[in-house]
Amino acid sequence: MNKKRVCTLVDVLVIVLLFALIAFADTKLNSFDILAKILQKGAVFALIAVSMNLLNGFTGLFSLGQAGFMLLGAYTYAIFTIPTTEDRLAVYKYYTMTMADGTETGGLVQFALPVAAAILLAGLVAAVFAFFIGLPVLRLKSDYLAIATLGFAEILRAICQWKGLGVLTNGSNQLRKYPYFKSILPYFLISGVCIAIIALLIRSTYGRAFKAIRDDEVAAEAMGINLTKHKMIAFVTSSFFAGVGGALFAMYQNTIQAKPFTTTLTYEILLIVVIGGIGSISGSVIASFLYIACSEWWLRFLDADGVIPGVTRNGFRLVVFSAVIMIIVLFFRRGIMGDKELSTYRLLGGLTPKKKKEVSGK
Amino acid sequence: MNITLDHILAGISAGGQYALIAIGYTMVYGILRLINFAHGDVFMVAGLIMVYISASSLPIYVSIPIVLLGTVLLGFLIERAAYKPLRSAPRMSVMISAIGVSYLLQNLALYITGGLPKPYPAIPWISDSITIFGATTKRVTVITPVVVIGLVVVLVLLIQKTKIGMAMRAVSKDFETSQLMGIKINSVISVTFIIGSFLAAVGSLLYFSSYQSVIPTSGALPGLKAFVAAVFGGIGSIPGAVVGAFIIGICENLIKASTEMSIFSDAFTFALLIVVLLVKPTGLFGEKVIDKV
Amino acid sequence: MSKNLLHVENVTMQFGGVVAVNNLTLDVCEGEIVSLIGPNGAVKTTAFNVVTGVYEPTNGLVSFDGKTIIESFPRGKMKKAYAGENRGMYTHRIVRTPDKITKLGIARTFQNIRLFKSMTVFENVLVAMHMRKKSNLFTATFMLNYKEERAMRAEVEHLLSEVGLLDVRDELATSLPYGMQRRLEIARALATKPTLLLLDEPAAGMNPQETDELTAFIRYIRDKFGVTIFMIEHHMNLVMDISDRIYVIDFGKLIAHGTPEEIQNNEVVIKAYLGGSDDV
């Protein structure tokens, strides 16, 4: 028991150290540095992947709506933070409104929220939508749920591009000129706090109820767990954090548009979750940094002409990528972490002779 | 709003093309209880095969069979490589595998095409322009429904009258029991994929003839719409999938006719899906399944 | 006779054209061990599923502790298709989901053991504590409910020691031997603090020795936890040994009811089990 405590302390120390390292990196790295960009994006995707894992890995709800909730978060953040009237006029070029006194203004929202408030609002908007989407959809079973959530995400994307809402969403044009973090640390802090909250939730009695639902719905219900309520809690919470993740993503990108929030984005996040291990928070975090680093940096050379003459050229990286993913899906179904968590205790435990590993799959 | 005969014709033709894809979904789902997310991409690959084959200026009566054969082979290989090893795995794993295959096919297509839209070759006769009731359209628009209905009739006969058809029906009713009865599950599943891919290939010939170019994501949206059609018609039911596909094709093109709402033409499909799932999850012709506790 | 705890009245369960349970009426009194037996089909489990809210009965009523908890009558398509008896006798519709039924004090086990397979023995039982928690999402997440959490864990530990599973508390539930899994499932059900415990074929797949142990165990928990037990079972030795009363159903209909001696000598029952010429 005591040994466990010490190990937990070491874990906390390691995390603090990591954050200190990031703070230090901020002083050394230019914000356009590739490493800085990867760390930022990695942090954002880590949060989104963990939020998806909460649903798919821990509650057993196969939802493919993550891109939709990110979209809501990103748009909410962008809409409510464009700072000045001039900026709004520039952004909402095609959607200006004439006020009572005859002045022209861009867009409908004529004020800007503080960044922190806007991030929170981004999460809340996603959560509210999730609640109303969840009411009908959560009654559906596995693959029907997947396809229905995917459908809702596509509908949300269409709505955001609709001219009728142009004064809010700027139609299919970009939203830009909103504030964003230039350094790496804020992304890490926000993402870190959110992931910690999800981890705590999973550790709590609610988290156990989620896992019970994942393992066996019928038995969970017979244990007095209200399925509708708990599925909804998981769905709304997951969407809240996907919304926050979306806001961070908007910041990372500097400009935002509905177009990239397609099903492919959801698939990408799902693949991160799978690589990390379905049902492992640390797995999702590790996998998202790995994934981002590989796709944006380490494997970039595969896209360069002539590295392997005749083979490497634009697009080859993604082919290698998807092949690797298929190998993981087929042969290493547990991913990096399986459903275990990375911790000092486990690392030390792994060193002792008692090694009883189960064989993955049949 | 300006609904013309053009839109209705386009709708019928799109519906027929979706129907050919939808049958693949509905048959696979009926047997494996799997949404074959890669099916739409198989359809796209069929389009690309045609693009590359025709570049080598083979005559049409050679290139079309190659397209059909190539697509069938692809469908067969996907099942063997990506789904068969996961037969006893949780359902989520198989679905993820399907998504992985879809991702792989799209990226391969992106790599091979270099991301440029590939113009689809004009197939003589069916790509010709004709005029009916004053509306000018390609001949493919008129042929599509005929081809679809013909193929569906053959397929239904195959399922109702032949031995393999009987095996398919048995497997879709009860996977385990039919295995115990000595039905070779794997060959039934392979045949299902082969038929599905074949129809998708025919669908791609018709579809791309009316849309002119192929891009790596060309299959994604028609694939999803066809799936919705399958659900709408009642998953597992072939006539259901066909009816569903025609309804979706027509409605979508009518929405496109209104410039104001055209952005929702894709979203409409999903809205329809959600309504169907909520109101009548078994679709128009589906059977009800009771969960066992 | 002591207080009537569970009262099932004229319950009919019809799936499409198939009448699975036909006009079933039975009572379980406080402190009793009552068995439901019958030679064929999934009829008995269906009856359990009606009582625990998994299925809504097509017609009939279930009351618990003097209060009607489930009531239904043929509606929709069933209006025409209903083939059972007592049509029109019930006019209210009261439905409860299984979790609500559990909260009222009816817990159950399953014929095909349904343990939470990714969890340890300890966690399996801990899950059952969730429904009685007072903490909310916020306090639970931020560990402000640590007192309650500690109490829950202590309670689970106590329960595990009482059913003799404390030694294996950190084992994965599904890695336990079969007999112990059954016992764990019962322990998990007991953790919801039921007044009535439904056991669905608790001795299925057990050898005679395990069955004997189970017989003693069921008696033990009845006395120790003061629960009333209503079970479905095929092992006649177990049923005759342990039951206060027995209900027999055949083809969905109640054919006999009485003490073990009465049932053993009942002509109709013997015929149902052995006599049918069309039945092997």
Counting every residue, how long is chain B? 293
Q: Do residues A192 and A253 lie in contact, with contact meaning Cβ atoms separated by under 8 Å? A: no
Residue B127 φ then ψ, to 5°: -90, -5
Residue among C1, C6, C3 at smallest CA distance from C68: C6
C-alpha span between B118 and B114 (Å, rounded) = 10
Interhelix angle A185-203/A2-28, nearest 10 degrees: 160
- pLDDT tens digits along A189-238: 999 999 999 999 999 999 999 999 999 999 999 999 999 999 999 999 99
A141 C-beta neighbours (distance < 10 Å), count = 13
Residue among A148, A344, C156 at smallest CA distance from B276: A148
User: B92 — contact with chain C (CB < 8 Å)?
Assistant: no
- pLDDT tens digits along B205-253: 999 988 878 988 888 888 989 999 998 998 888 889 999 999 999 998 8
Residue among B32, B68, B33, B29 at smallest CA distance from B47: B68
Q: Do residues C272 and C248 lie in contact, with contact meaning Cβ atoms separated by under 8 Å? A: yes
C-alpha span between A173 and B106 (Å, rounded) = 26
**For position A270, what pLDDT does the model report?**
93
Please report the domains of chain A, with CATH numbers, ordered by start residue: 2-349 (1.10.3470)
**For position A286, what pLDDT does the model report?**
96
CA C226 to chain centre: 16
Q: Which of A64-68, A102-106, A156-160, A207-211 has the lowest mean pLDDT?
A: A102-106
User: A124 — contact with chain C (CB < 8 Å)?
Assistant: no
- pLDDT tens digits along A10-45: 989 999 999 999 999 988 888 778 899 999 999 999
Which of A214, A216, A233 has the CB atom closest to C137's CB atom?
A233
**In the predicted model, what is the mean pLDDT of chain A?**
89
Percent of chain A with pLDDT over 70: 96
pLDDT band per the 50, 70, 90 thresholds, residue A361: very low
* Residue tagged 């769905």 (tokens): A235
pTM exceeds 0.80, yes or no: yes
**In the predicted model, what is the mean pLDDT of chain C?**
91
Q: Do residues C196 and C228 lie in contact, with contact meaning Cβ atoms separated by under 8 Å? A: yes
Residue A354 in this model has a pLDDT that exceeds 50 = no
CATH class of the domain defined by C106-231: alpha beta
Q: Which residue of C lies nearest to B287 if distances are taken between CA atoms?
A: C16
Q: Is the Cβ pair B99, A147 closer than 8 Å?
A: no
Tokens of C46: 């269906």
Give A71's contacts (C-beta < 8 A, 6+ positions apart): A153, A156, A157, A160, A246, A258, A261
Q: Is the Cβ pair A209, C127 closer than 8 Å?
A: yes
Give B118's contacts (C-beta < 8 A, 6+ positions apart): B48, B51, B213, B214, B215
Say what the ipTM of the complex is.
Answer: 0.92
How far is A96 from chain B, CA to nearest CA, in Å?
19
User: C207 — contact with chain A (CB < 8 Å)?
Assistant: no
C-alpha span between B12 and B163 (Å, rounded) = 33
Which of A204, A219, A220 has the CB atom closest to C141's CB atom?
A204
Residue to substitute from A59, A303, A319, interface B, most B β-carbons within 10 A: A319
**Quick one: average pLDDT of B9-27?**
91
C-alpha span between C106 and B125 (Å, rounded) = 72
C-alpha span between C141 and C136 (Å, rounded) = 8
- pLDDT tens digits along A55-73: 999 999 999 999 999 999 9
CATH of C1-104+244-280, one of 3.40.50.12780, 3.40.50.300, 3.20.20.120, 3.90.950.10: 3.40.50.300
**For position B287, what pLDDT does the model report?**
66
Q: Is the Cβ pair C140, A226 closer than 8 Å?
A: no
C-alpha span between A286 and A280 (Å, rounded) = 10
Which of A205, A223, A224 has the CB atom closest to C140's CB atom?
A205
Residue C32 in this model has a pLDDT that exceeds 70 = yes
**For position B217, what pLDDT does the model report?**
85
Higher pLDDT, A40 or A335: A40
Residue among A47, A48, A26 at smallest CA distance from A35: A26
Domain range summary for chain C, segments of one domain joined by + = 1-104+244-280, 106-231
User: B290 — contact with chain C (CB < 8 Å)?
Assistant: yes
How far is B10 from chain A, CA to nearest CA, in Å?
22
Tokens of B269: 């499909």
Q: Do residues C33 and C24 lie in contact, with contact meaning Cβ atoms separated by under 8 Å? A: no
Which of A205, A206, A222 has the CB atom closest to C108's CB atom?
A222
Residue C74 in this model has a pLDDT that exceeds 50 = yes
* A91-95, B49-53, B274-278: range with highest mean pLDDT: B49-53
User: B220 — contact with chain A (CB < 8 Å)?
Assistant: yes
Subunits adjacent to chain B (3 or more Cβ pairs under 8 Å): A, C
**For position B288, what pLDDT does the model report?**
58
pLDDT band per the 50, 70, 90 thresholds, residue C276: low
The CATH topology of domain B5-279 is ABC transporter involved in vitamin B12 uptake, BtuC (1.10.3470)
